Structure 1
Amino acid sequence: MNQNTNVDPAELEKFSSLAHHWWDLESEFKPLHQINPLRLGWIDGLAPLQGKQVLDVGCGGGILADSMARKGAEVLGIDLATKSLRVAQLHALEASTPNIQYREVAVEALAEEKPAGFDVVTCMEMLEHVPDPGSVVRACAQLVKPGGWVFFSTINRNPKAYALAIVAAEYLLKMLPQGTHEFDKFIRPSELAQHAIDAGLVVDSAKGMQHNPLSGRYWLSSDTSVNYLLATRRPLR
């Protein structure tokens, strides 16, 4: 798929219209703020971020990118939602976040510009929002240095995920705006792993992310039936 067409304008508009809420801890983005320490800890545990060159693909308002910079990484966050990027840049200025930059560029275009340019690439909660997730995975694989790590997170495609990630989260509990997710765009772990293997990456490990709506607690587990994270590496040769 052409790098300039691997974007859904409706998805961009959806997130752009919410851009001013990115750093409101009680907004639609509250779940992302709540899970961010888990994501950050998991990434930093496998690929210590201090001193690393890190790319965050689909960075949105910069929640993960900002926290990785504060762990000592040199971070570039990229997205195609202009308003979200402006919010990310403004937050970095206001919070005096060190070693962070943001760019409005497609990941496929950046892969041509900076092949093997990063020690760590993260692509979280983004693949379920693009027309061709395989293209994004291939670009991430091109962007990471040999021996480097690529981390993904997305949502499984099965009846349980539909019930929890759409019906419960969007309609019953109203944790997310209605229409945030489309079931047909969810990705099974086996499908994501195959995309990674096809792109030349080696699958290292997977974790599930679970949530108790009564206590509000999130935690990582071996249950990948709904939200899950996948760690992959680019071989040294």
Structure 2
Amino acid sequence: MSNAINADPAELEKFSSLAHRWWDPESEFKPLHQINPLRLDWIDGLASLQGQRVLDVGCGGGILADSMARKGAAEVMGIDLASKALRVAQLHALEAGTPNIQYHELSVERLAVERPASFDVVTCMEMLEHVPDPASVVKACAQLVRPGGWVFFSTINRNAKAFGLAIVAAEYLLKMIPKGTHEYAKLIRPSELAHFVREAGLELHSGKGMQHNPITGRYWLGADTSVNYMLAARRPEE
């Protein structure tokens, strides 16, 4: 079974080694803390999280999952294959008294077999560029959402600008995130992600780019998807 898991051991170790720093807003995960309100509001604005059953795929230390639970979701499940990050997520939920949240160490493909069409909202943020087969993850997300439900993805474009900003600048010049966090060859163009989404039987709804001013530290959403971007899709009603 382990041979079939869609995960790169080096990628899992990369995030596990930093697990204890997930909830430090001044750590290597500072950018995630800074963009979280933007992505949370965008998701909630489209899918209305209140009372919903939500799945966060590749949840890491639980930054997004925790905030979706606090937004009023009836149930939030976070899944990941990085054991240490999951333990940090569980501990934080316990210490913070986060309601209606649970974390499990299992692959999205396995969960899709066990619980198809079980969630109103599925999120998969900053994860697709870290797995060997992103199309498999997109397909599993599509299987897990109920008809009429929402699926949200975010990742990084693959072009010269993204290489310069998301890898060279962010990792090596500004040291915003650890060196080696992203591999250029694994980055995904919006057209490629849109293809994965359609092949999985989902309907594209909308997209947003995420910009960052390294001088002011401000992040904002806009139409420019040349570096970081998010896509929203829906499973058609049956």
TM-score w.r.t. the length of structure 2 is: 0.98
Counterparts of 1:119 and 1:29, CA distance in 2: 28
**Could you tell me how far 1:181 is from its partner in structure 2?**
0.2
What does residue range 115-194 of structure 1 map to in structure 2 within 5 Å? 115-194=116-195
The residue identity in structure 1 corresponding to 2:10 is A
What does residue range 74-153 of structure 1 map to in structure 2 within 5 Å? 74-153=75-154
Any idea what SS the aligned residue of 2:4 has?
coil
Equivalent pair of 2:5/2:107 in contact (CA under 8 Å): no
Counterparts of 1:34 and 1:177, CA distance in 2: 16
Structure 2 residue ranges without an equivalent (≥5): none
Q: Give the CA RMSD over aligned residues.
A: 1.1
Counterparts of 1:53 and 1:210, CA distance in 2: 30
**Could you tell me how far 1:107 is from its partner in structure 2?**
0.1
The residue identity in structure 1 corresponding to 2:59 is C
The residue identity in structure 1 corresponding to 2:81 is L
Counterparts of 1:123 and 1:180, CA distance in 2: 17
**Could you tell me how far 1:4 is from its partner in structure 2?**
3.2
In the alignment of these two chains, the number of paired residues is 237
Q: Structure 1 residues 55 and 68, CA, compared in 2 at 3 Å: closer, same or farther?
A: same
Counterparts of 2:86 and 2:13, CA distance in 1: 13
**Could you tell me how far 1:3 is from its partner in structure 2?**
7.9
**Could you tell me how far 1:116 is from its partner in structure 2?**
0.0
The residue identity in structure 1 corresponding to 2:24 is D
Task: Tell me what 1:210 maps to.
Answer: 211
Pairing 1:52–2:52 present: yes
Counterparts of 1:104 and 1:3, CA distance in 2: 16
Equivalent pair of 2:157/2:187 in contact (CA under 8 Å): yes
Equivalent pair of 1:4/1:106 in contact (CA under 8 Å): no
Structure 1's consecutive aligned runs of 4 or more residues displaced over 6 angstroms after TM superposition are none
Counterparts of 2:26 and 2:4, CA distance in 1: 34
Equivalent pair of 1:3/1:109 in contact (CA under 8 Å): no
**Could you tell me how far 1:69 is from its partner in structure 2?**
0.0
The residue identity in structure 2 corresponding to 1:55 is L
Counterparts of 1:84 and 1:20, CA distance in 2: 7
